Structure 1
């Protein structure tokens, strides 16, 4: 019952808070000015993702007070996410050296894993693997990569918001269909927080998310996927499938740039979604295409894993093959003209 009123409350609070942050950004000249590496052409306020952070953290506090969710997961997500948001906020308003940002990212990942109990045993092609301390290391790298790739993929209007909303709604539906409905609460609350921001971020965007919001979404989505692994091992694979568009585009682009010897920490416009937005001449078709891929391709495969017994690793491979084809088609990682 609480969820029925809390979801619209979170959405409205996020919407109103984003409006306030937009006025603050305009007044303080916290503006993203287009340059040669930008995918937009109009100076636009940034930092609106703070609304997502604050509303979701308030929702977590509400869950703590009502005891509606396990305290360890809430502390893990809230603490790790808040640290990443603070680092991103400071970087949005100034500059933090890359090495210190990375250190902060691993501290946040370690916090999250410590409260969650690390990485549970994985089922891979029918084999159960308990990786022990190595699993913890791999999980930390996974969280740090996911929060950074989310930052990389937040490059055109609405794409990061649409990704988070469709992934969370997809995961929540899978929880409900597999008898794990109580675990749908956090994804639904996160989707509501992002939906309020999306009102202002939908193409053409009136405000950008900023590093605080994108990094926060990346690590929280990663944390939710690891929490799912403890609840039901196949659900980890489902989350990896649902996040496929961002994982494939960012990873494929990074590998190609590394092989070419590029400075991967420098801003660029060589992701598949960026090439696609320039080819179509606008952001909206690409952002909507992400939603269609998530709901019409990735979600059905994730359903087969969660409900029909498809091996999770096989499901990931099946889901990613067309995404890799799309990355190649849209020249992901190629040199920009």
Structure 2
């Protein structure tokens, strides 16, 4: 039964208005009664903030929900009872501060009761797996939102996007039982978000985060209860399988941000020898801030990422099961490598040396051992990507559908494809380097490996099967997908690093000019961006070669020549000029230094550590010029830059 759009908008606005009205009332009540969160070392906020904002979200959801028709029937009853139970657990925890074990046991009891009553993922023929998976999912999502509630506006913003996505999912597949509660939850979160976004006037507390987490988990389960069979293709070959795939793939994709954050925090704390339940500033949002984003941009970045993944997932879910699997697979791989990239900040988010000498045992020890085997992880990721690429080639050739005949061809040839390609990647040296240092040389290696492996595979198929039944276009597309996926993943860590370096520069407070847009300027800029312990922001290059004017080096523009120095210093508020002309005579630096001194700007010369010269036959080819080495400290200088 389709629900009119006007009715859905009305539900959304009702929940939004209730939340927008109730939240300031809770703020006033909390401040008058002293129910505020004080700043703590292991928490992100730095000012006293009102608590129990989850009460406003809960009431803004429940009041219109209980007035909806048939609310006390079937799945809606489970949602209402579960929402009340998890809200009460969170509220009591906010007041009494349960131990993590006590809180988990209370949640487990509630979840078991709800799953036993019928709130579970339906997997016909697998009742035990269905029950276990449902319990794990509900507990995991409730605590994932609780963990995600670590920065102003993040938990409420992500919940709002996920709820709208689940509502759209219900509309697409004709499931009204998920549409109305999802719309109400989104409206309630938006009303609260206005007061919770930085600077937050109120926190939701556990009464809000546990309630929201349970609702997202429960709505995801309800969204998988299709009103009829979902099939792809006229032959219905995947009719049975597609339901199971959609049950797992869509909720995971829509809720990818809380799942990712929970996984990142759990693995990082296990590696660091810390308790998973221990609070800290080691979440995804905190690491984005350490990389240079403001708190507002960190939250909005995660919200935009959640929205993009949700839109793509919903589109693929309504068109192609195989395409949905491909999108989910690529999303998971990107998340894994983004997690690896963020894990490089572990020494910044945890006390350096605090865990030195600690022996790793159990899960942490096994995980650390696996993570240290870089080549094993690289091969596993490549096998996964090569499989995705091969399937995607068939999807592209046959308009998103794989017939039983083509499925049989894939199953018959996939071992050959994977074996040949991994061997070629190994033979061309793709498993000897670190992916975060990927270079143009790696690109050429990948091209050689792709062309060689494709030629070998086609040759074997011609020899063995005379290429009967195979499509030449498929193997061309497979080669393209292999290059894009294998090459893309190797440059992913480098792209992450360069993007966040650029973002960090925007927050630096000491504008600088680099005099010299040649090799010296290039080397200095790259070294500057590798280091984190400084506050310099390059605003541009100066170079006397007019042919370079207007060009960019690593995103930094050549603004003019030396005669423009004073004008550019004044225009951009420059406080330091770095002279990075490696072969410049001493008189040039002295001239620039005098000009900088007259306008009150510091001038620093960058000199090479190793100097190459034309030497006599009995002299070494390369030697260190101790007198020409200038050690440049890139520490934060604040007002001492003058």
Same fold (TM over 0.5): yes
Q: List aligned pairs for 1:250-269, cutoff 5 A.
A: 250-269=262-281
Distance 1:227 1:180 in 2: 8
Q: Structure 1: any 5+ residue segments left out of the alignment?
A: 122-128
Q: Give the counterpart of 2:12 among 7, 11, 15.
A: 7
Q: Give the counterpart of 2:305 among 293, 306, 312.
A: 293
Q: 1:332 to 1:182 in 2, by over 3 A?
A: farther
| Larger Rg computed on CA atoms | 2
Shift in Å, 1:173: 2.2
Contact 1:305 1:315 in 2 (8 A): no
Shift in Å, 1:183: 3.7
Distance 1:165 1:321 in 2: 25
Cα deviations across residues 137-176 of structure 1 (Å, max 9, x unaligned)?
2311221121112111100011111101111112222333
Shift in Å, 1:276: 1.1
Whether 1:228 and 2:223 are equivalent positions in the alignment is yes
SS at match of 2:225: helix
Q: Give the counterpart of 1:74 among 73, 76, 84.
A: 76
Whether 1:32 and 2:37 are equivalent positions in the alignment is yes
Whether 1:147 and 2:142 are equivalent positions in the alignment is yes
Cα deviations across residues 194-236 of structure 1 (Å, max 9, x unaligned)?
1111111112111111111001111110001111122273254
Distance 2:49 2:294 in 1: 16
Distance 1:235 1:169 in 2: 17
TM-score (norm 2): 0.48
Contact 2:90 2:206 in 1 (8 A): yes
SS at match of 1:289: helix
Name the structure 2 match of 1:48.
Answer: 53
Name the structure 2 match of 1:110.
Answer: 112
Contact 1:172 1:188 in 2 (8 A): yes
Q: Give the counterpart of 2:86 among 84, 87, 106.
A: 84
Shift in Å, 1:20: 0.9
Name the structure 2 match of 1:124.
Answer: none
Distance 1:12 1:96 in 2: 33
Distance 2:310 2:291 in 1: 24
Q: 1:295 to 1:177 in 2, by over 3 A?
A: same
Name the structure 2 match of 1:58.
Answer: 63
Distance 1:60 1:107 in 2: 24
Contact 2:144 2:258 in 1 (8 A): yes
Whether 1:327 and 2:339 are equivalent positions in the alignment is yes
Shift in Å, 1:189: 0.9
Distance 1:89 1:173 in 2: 31
Shift in Å, 1:284: 0.6
Name the structure 2 match of 1:247.
Answer: 259
Q: 1:183 to 1:71 in 2, by over 3 A?
A: same
Whether 1:217 and 2:212 are equivalent positions in the alignment is yes
Name the structure 2 match of 1:167.
Answer: 162
Q: Give the counterpart of 1:186 among 155, 173, 181.
A: 181
Name the structure 1 match of 2:102.
Answer: 100
Distance 2:53 2:307 in 1: 26
Q: Structure 2: any 5+ residue segments left out of the alignment?
A: 1-5, 228-242, 352-642
Greater mean alpha carbon deviation, residues 252-261 or residues 8-17: 252-261
Q: 1:332 to 1:87 in 2, by over 3 A?
A: farther
Distance 1:312 1:90 in 2: 41
Q: 1:170 to 1:48 in 2, by over 3 A?
A: same
Name the structure 2 match of 1:23.
Answer: 28
Shift in Å, 1:243: 0.5
Distance 1:148 1:97 in 2: 14
Alpha-carbon RMSD across the aligned residues, in angstroms, is 2.2
Shift in Å, 1:104: 1.1
TM-score (norm 1): 0.89
Q: 1:166 to 1:258 in 2, by over 3 A?
A: same
Q: List aligned pairs for 1:121-160, cutoff 5 A.
A: 121=123, 130-160=125-155
SS at match of 2:157: helix
Q: 1:87 to 1:181 in 2, by over 3 A?
A: closer
Contact 1:228 1:236 in 2 (8 A): no
Q: 1:117 to 1:204 in 2, by over 3 A?
A: closer
Name the structure 2 match of 1:120.
Answer: 122
Distance 2:304 2:72 in 1: 33
Structure that is richer in helix per residue? 1
